[in-house]
Amino acid sequence: MTLQQNLTQDEILTFLTKELTIQKNATSLSLYKLKSREEPRPTSAIVGVIGSVLIGGMFGLLLLSDAPILVRHLRAAVTAQPLDQTNQRRRNAMVRHLRAAVTAQPLDQTNERRWNAMENKRGLNSVV
């Protein structure tokens, strides 16, 4: 379409806007926005690899530090036992001993042996 001399001002403006409008997806900025440029220098590649190894190593250390806890939880889930079974037994024995002491009732011989063994293990010799 060519510009003619006898057009009105509105027609000229519409003509110019149609002719001068640029498609957004046809510009070089939009074409190269999502593409990575090739870097021929080997030092750039080495720095990138070192950076990736360091960042990956930090995440790896975080995951490895939680590995024993994960193994303990998985083992407890598979065997359907409480996580801290040993400490639970100790707590139960201490509660039984304290209950017997408060109510002034003697412990049965089995619990008494367990309590004494636990105290001896800790180095606490009871004076009873």
- Per the listing, tokens 């926005």 go with 33
For residues 95 and 77, the answer to whether their CB atoms sit within 8 Å is no
**What is the structure's pLDDT at 49?**
94
When computed from its CA atoms, the radius of gyration of the chain, rounded to whole angstroms, is: 40
Tens digit of each residue's pLDDT (9 = 90 or more) over 91-110: 777 777 777 777 766 656 66
The band of 128, judged by pLDDT with boundaries at 50, 70 and 90, is very low
- Nearest-angstrom CA–CA distance, 67 and 69: 5
- Nearest-angstrom CA–CA distance, 6 and 15: 13
- Nearest-angstrom CA–CA distance, 128 and 110: 17
**What is the structure's pLDDT at 93?**
76
Which percentage of the chain shows pLDDT scores above 90?
16
Q: Where are the domains of the chain?
A: 42-82, 84-123
